[in-house]
């Protein structure tokens, strides 16, 4: 149980047990009960928007280089500020870190199961990830569950914080609507290593796979989804509210699934591929950087057998 869950158990109107005693029993500081987060400044939000763009283009930029690039562009940003904002956004530099085999002592980290695996059908492998979404006045987080083979987005949720609940809700909806995968792949974020998320998969017999630390190519397809989403939707808008963001993102994700053709699938849509209009196979591209730009397409013989559907 995290701190937010424990705080929710405090009953300030309990006549028998004082608030101080409840906080002591729950092992939370009483001051956190009354804390109200300070809204991000307009300047911080503008810097975070630019940092999101930089991270999408050059994910290997750490806080030092991020701060240096921002200063060259005229922003007053030192490394401490860049590091703080990157933490708020939930992003970090992509590189191989030392002692990567050591996970959080309370969270189990699972091995990566997709290396060298031929992924040749829907519902064989699903994946999930979280990304930062800037708004006109604030920011939110988006989680999506995607079918690896077809790249269809099966479910998604928005949240104003990086709690586990919205990830579990997205996972539950995807499995209620589309069944379940043989393998589920995520990064090693605390939301995906949490007991609530992992147990839901383990109880259904789903094999759990997790990216190596600093290996963004291990979940490359959902990273490509974020790139398309941000350049085609998020960066050209300024959502005024969470409700507006939810409506607009929902329209784009429906367009991505049902209308937007994919070159690697002979311009079929993710929905068509997921529902059976698929190529013969898709090899996992994360084994090497060279494989990342594109997927194998259908053979010439297969192209002659199936009609290309375009919108």
Task: Give CA–CA dist 67/63, Å, rounded.
Answer: 6
HEC secondary structure over 142-170: EEEEEECCCCCEEEEEEECCCCCHHHHHH
The domain tally of the chain equals: 3
Q: Which of 51-65, 127-141, 289-303 has the lowest mean pLDDT?
A: 289-303
Residue 141 has pLDDT above 90, yes or no: yes
How large is the greatest C-alpha to C-alpha distance in the chain, in angstroms? 77
The reply to whether 179 and 200 lie within a common domain is yes
Residues 132 and 237 in one domain: yes
Residue 304 reports pLDDT greater than 80: no
Rounded Cα gap, residues 94 and 150, in angstroms:
26
Asked whether residue 170 is domain-assigned, the answer is: yes
Question: Is there a single domain that holds both residue 76 and residue 163?
Answer: no
184 beta partners:
126, 208
Residue 273 lies in a domain: no
Percent of the chain with pLDDT over 70: 79
Domain boundary among 253, 277, 292: 253
What pLDDT is stored for residue 5 in this prediction? 66
- The answer on 235 and 125 residing in a single domain is yes
More confident residue, 95 or 45: 45
* Whether residues 244 and 132 fall in one domain: yes
Task: Name the band, by pLDDT with cuts 50, 70 and 90, for residue 162.
Answer: confident
Distance (Å) of CA 233 to CA 141, 196, 239, 271, 310 = 15, 31, 11, 20, 22
Read off the tokens for 166. 């919205």
Q: How far apart are CA 299 and CA 84, in angstroms?
A: 49
Most confidently modeled of 2-6, 29-33, 182-186? 182-186
User: Do 149 and 219 lie in a common domain?
Assistant: yes
Backbone angles phi, psi at 276, to 5 degrees: 125, -15
Alpha-carbon gap, residue 292 to 287, rounded angstroms: 9
| Predicted local distance difference test score (pLDDT) of residue 18 | 87
Q: Is pLDDT at 143 greater than 90 in this prediction? A: yes
- Do residues 68 and 158 both lie within one domain? no
Condensed to tens digits (0 to 9), the pLDDT of residues 263-282 reads 888 889 999 999 984 344 44
**Structure confidence at residue 299 (pLDDT):** 30
- Condensed to tens digits (0 to 9), the pLDDT of residues 237-264 reads 989 999 999 999 999 999 999 999 988 8
| Amino acid 133: pLDDT | 94
Q: Are 114 and 271 in contact (CB under 8 A)?
A: no
Q: What is the pLDDT of residues 227-236, one digit of tens each?
A: 999 999 999 9
Q: What is the pLDDT of residues 109-126, one digit of tens each?
A: 888 898 888 888 999 999
Residue 21 φ then ψ, to 5°: -70, -40
The chain-wide mean pLDDT, for the chain, equals: 80
Within-domain flag for 164: yes
CATH code of the domain in which 185 resides: 3.30.420.10
Which of 225, 49, 60 has the alpha carbon at shortest distance from 142? 225
The boundaries of the domain holding residue 124 are 118-253
Any domain includes 217: yes
Is the same domain home to 59 and 20?
no
Residues 72 and 179 in one domain: no
The reply to whether 155 and 73 lie within a common domain is no
Quick one: pLDDT band at residue 177, thresholds 50, 70, 90?
A: very high
The mean pLDDT of 197-213, rounded to a whole number, is: 88
pLDDT at residue 49 greater than cutoff 70: yes
Task: Report the length, in residues, of the chain.
Answer: 311
Question: Could you tell me if residue 172 is inside a domain?
Answer: yes
Check whether residue 20 and residue 53 sit in a common domain.
Answer: no
Residue 49 CA to residue 159 CA, distance in Å, equals 17
Note whether 32 and 3 are within 8 A (CB).
Answer: yes
- The pLDDT assigned to 184 comes to 95
- Residue 74's H or E segment, with its range, is none
Do 279 and 266 meet the contact criterion of CB atoms below 8 Å apart? yes
**For the chain, what is the radius of gyration of the CA atoms?**
21
**76 within domain boundaries:** yes
């Amino acid at each position: 149980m995290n701190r937010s869950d424990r705080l929710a158990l405090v009953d300030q109107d309990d006549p028998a047990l004082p608030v101080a005693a409840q906080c002591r029993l729950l092992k939370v500081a009483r001051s956190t009960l009354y804390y109200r987060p300070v809204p991000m400044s307009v300047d911080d939000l503008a810097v975070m928007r630019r940092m999101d763009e930089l991270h999408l283009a050059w994910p290997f930029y750490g806080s030092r280089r991020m701060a240096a690039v921002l200063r060259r562009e005229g922003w007053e940003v030192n490394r401490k500020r860049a590091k703080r904002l990157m933490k708020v956004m939930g992003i970090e530099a992509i590189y191989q870190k030392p002692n990567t085999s050591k996970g959080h002592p309370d969270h189990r980290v699972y091995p990566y199961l997709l290396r060298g695996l031929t992924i040749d059908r829907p519902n064989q492998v699903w994946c999930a990830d979280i990304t930062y979404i800037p708004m006109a006045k604030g920011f939110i987080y988006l989680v999506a569950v995607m079918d690896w083979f077809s790249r269809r987005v099966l479910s998604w949720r928005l949240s104003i914080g990086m709690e586990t609940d919205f990830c579990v809700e997205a996972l539950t909806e995807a499995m209620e609507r589309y069944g379940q995968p043989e393998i589920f792949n995520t990064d090693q974020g605390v939301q995906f290593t949490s007991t609530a998320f992992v147990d839901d998969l383990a109880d259904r017999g789903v094999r759990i796979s997790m990216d190596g630390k600093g290996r963004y190519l291990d979940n490359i397809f959902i990273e490509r989804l974020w790139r398309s989403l941000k350049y085609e939707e998020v960066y050209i808008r300024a959502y005024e509210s969470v409700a507006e963001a939810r409506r607009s993102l929902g329209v784009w994700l429906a367009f991505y699934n049902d209308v937007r053709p994919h070159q690697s699938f002979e311009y079929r849509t993710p929905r068509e591929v997921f529902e059976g209009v698929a190529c013969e196979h898709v090899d996992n591209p994360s084994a090497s950087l060279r494989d990342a730009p594109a997927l194998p397409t259908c053979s010439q013989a297969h192209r002659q057998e199936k009609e290309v559907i375009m919108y």
